[in-house]
Amino acid sequence: MIHAYLFAKGCWPENNVKTDKDRVKEHIKRWHPDKFNNKYLPKVIEEDKERVKEGAGAVVRGLNAILTKMNEPQQSGLFG
């Protein structure tokens, strides 16, 4: 789901300006636990905070996995 959201064509006005990798890095900064917990978590009602915190953690782990995959050398051809 995260991948589909990030790379949906036509949904981002700066599609022609930012690279896919730049967009992923931008979202990693936004969802980073330090920033998320300080900026957004205080706005969540108390009984939902733990679930929201876990969800945000899952998002940032997914974003990091996408970035890791993007940084892997591309295999070319049948044997690499």
Instruction: Output Rg (C-alpha) for the chain, integer angstroms.
Output: 16
* pLDDT of 1 over the 90 cut: no
Give the angle 73-78-80 at the CA atoms, nearest 5°: 25
The domain spans of the chain are: 2-71
**Tens-digit pLDDT profile for residues 22-73:** 889 999 999 999 999 999 999 999 999 999 999 999 999 999 999 999 888 7
| pTM of the entire predicted model | 0.77
Q: Encode pLDDT of 6-26 as tens digits.
A: 877 666 666 556 788 988 999
Taking residue 66's Cβ as centre, other Cβ atoms within 10 Å add up to: 20
Q: What is the C-alpha to C-alpha distance for residues 9 and 11, in angstroms, rounded to an integer?
A: 6
